[in-house]
């Protein structure tokens, strides 16, 4: 797959924006220390239809991301580490993996047949 200059620029912009959002989310998570309110707010989420939908969407995205990790990551210890920590740390961890594997993923996308 050959990308034009505009497509490459958009892809680079989106990757950079994703990195910034991941860093901001991780910083917010670490500085706000939300763990003391987790059970109270978790109960609120589970009693609210939109909270339930949001949690299904969140964990569905985790499983889609982990599927990509298990298909594309060659190191077993990395696959297991992401599987065990992603539900607790969240998408910043998946974003970090995507950034570190970006070159390999681009190379895979250029192959004529991808199995």
pTM of the predicted model as reported, rounded to 2 decimal places? 0.63
61 or 35, higher pLDDT: 61
Task: State the average pLDDT over residues 39-55.
Answer: 86
Q: Tens of pLDDT along 7-37?
A: 778 877 877 887 788 788 778 877 877 667 7
Show the 3-state SS of the chain. Answer: CCCCHHHHHHHHHHHHHHHHHHHHHHHHHHHHCHHHHHHHHHHHHHCCHHHHHHHHHHHHHHHHHHHHHHHHCCCHHHHHHHHHHHHHHCHHHHHHHHHHCHHHHHHHHHCCCCC
């Amino acid at each position: 797959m050959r990308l034009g200059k505009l497509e490459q620029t958009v892809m680079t912009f989106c990757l950079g924006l994703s990195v910034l959002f991941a860093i901001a989310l991780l910083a917010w998570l670490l500085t706000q220390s939300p763990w003391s309110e987790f059970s109270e707010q978790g109960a609120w989420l589970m009693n609210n239809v939109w909270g339930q939908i949001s949690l299904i969407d969140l964990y569905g995205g985790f499983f889609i991301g982990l599927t990509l990790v298990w298909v594309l990551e060659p190191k077993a210890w990395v696959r297991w580490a992401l599987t065990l920590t992603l539900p607790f740390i969240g998408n910043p961890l998946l974003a970090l993996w995507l950034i570190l594997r970006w070159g390999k993923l681009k190379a895979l996308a250029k192959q004529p047949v991808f199995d």
